[in-house]
Amino acid sequence: MNFYKELFNNVKLKKGFGVELNIAGVVGVGKSSLSAILEEKGYVIYREPVFDNPLLDKFYFNKERFAFPLQIFFLNKRFQMIKDATKMDKSVLDRSILEDTIFAKMLRDRGEMVPEEYDIYIELFYNMLEHVKSPRLMVYLRVQPEEAIRRINLRGRDYEVENDTSYWHQLNDNYEEYFKHYDWSPLLTIDVDNIDFVNKEEDKEFVLRQIFKKLSVLYPHLYRYNASDNSVFRLDTKFDDNIQKIM
């Protein structure tokens, strides 16, 4: 059976929701940038643990040695973030806990994580997932690998730039296959190859409106979208009479 089809067959949906939004996509697509934009709108952001990560640099220069501890590090940190984020209103997670399996699978397939390590990882993953609820909305930022590589080179992190380009193509293929089978939560896919939502105001508004319009359709008791002026309002769940204008 296809790995990702089996993954979602094994994922059990739970009543209720965890975080408000998950931002998904390959390395370099702009997840952190979109999270920062949402933070300006009053959302609470839980960022991917890459800057205070004692293993990431080591991993890129010795993958066989550090693949397993790095994946356990990410899984543990992500699980802690989810526990914290579910207590917050309007929380956003930069990459989901399910996406971690994409990287673990690739490491196994490339021989950089031995089968015994992978089996331990996947068992721990499923044990943790029993305590995780799906997000209200998964936002998949889709980009072609050539554009992702261009953005990776532009931001210039040494451990990413020195990776061979075949890795980024394989990562993109895995993400496409993953989201072909995705059914853990409502999903919004936005193609961002020709969109610069960091530097162009009209592109930023386009991406945000795609997200908020989708949320207003899915959760009209929480989000209200006014088509006449493209304004967006959200009900504060802690105070029923408090409606916040987001855009």
Q: Which pLDDT tens digit goes with each residue over 1-23?
A: 689 999 999 987 776 788 999 99
Task: Give residue 8's pLDDT.
Answer: 92
Give which of 161, 153, 167, 211 is closest to 20, Cα–Cα: 211
The whole-number pLDDT of residue 245 equals 82
Residue 219 has pLDDT above 80, yes or no: yes
What pLDDT sits at residue 1?
Answer: 65
pLDDT for residue 106 is more than 80: yes
Higher pLDDT: 237 or 149? It is 149
Between the CA of residue 76 and those of 38, 160, 163, 190, what are the distances in Å?
Answer: 25, 22, 25, 29
**Does the structure show a pLDDT above 70 at 47?**
yes
pLDDT at residue 129 is higher than 60: yes
Pairing of strands 231-235, 223-226: antiparallel
- Mean pLDDT computed over 62-77: 95
Q: Which residues pair with 45 in a beta bridge?
A: 92
Structure-block tokens of residue 137: 């909305």
Q: Region 181-186: what's the mean pLDDT?
A: 95
CA atoms of 118 and 105, how far apart (whole Å): 8
Lowest mean pLDDT among 29-38, 44-53, 139-148: 44-53
pLDDT band at 117 (very low <50, low <70, confident <90, very high): very high
* Residues 104-109, mean pLDDT to the nearest whole number: 96
Using H for helix, E for strand and C for coil, what is the string for the chain?
CCHHHHHHHHCCCCCCCCCCEEEECCCCCCHHHHHHHHHHCCCEEECCCCCCCCCHHHHHHCHHHHHHHHHHHHHHHHHHHHHHHCCCCCEEEECCCCCHHHHHHHHHHCCCCCHHHHHHHHHHHHHHHCCCCCCCEEEEEECCHHHHHHHHHHHCCHHHHCCCHHHHHHHHHHHHHHHHHCCCCCEEEEECCCCCCCCCHHHHHHHHHHHHHHHHHHCCCCEEEECCCCEEEEECCCCCCCEEECC
Does pLDDT of 241 surpass 70?
no
pLDDT computed for residue 57 by the predictor: 84
Q: Which pLDDT value is given to residue 240? A: 55
User: For residue 182, what pLDDT is reported?
Assistant: 96
What residues are labeled active site?
Answer: 94
pLDDT of residue 36: 95
- Across all residues in the chain, what is the average pLDDT? 90
In the predicted model, what is the mean pLDDT of residues 67-82? 95
pLDDT of residue 126: 94
d(CA 8, CA 180): 11
Check residue 50 and give its pLDDT.
Answer: 80
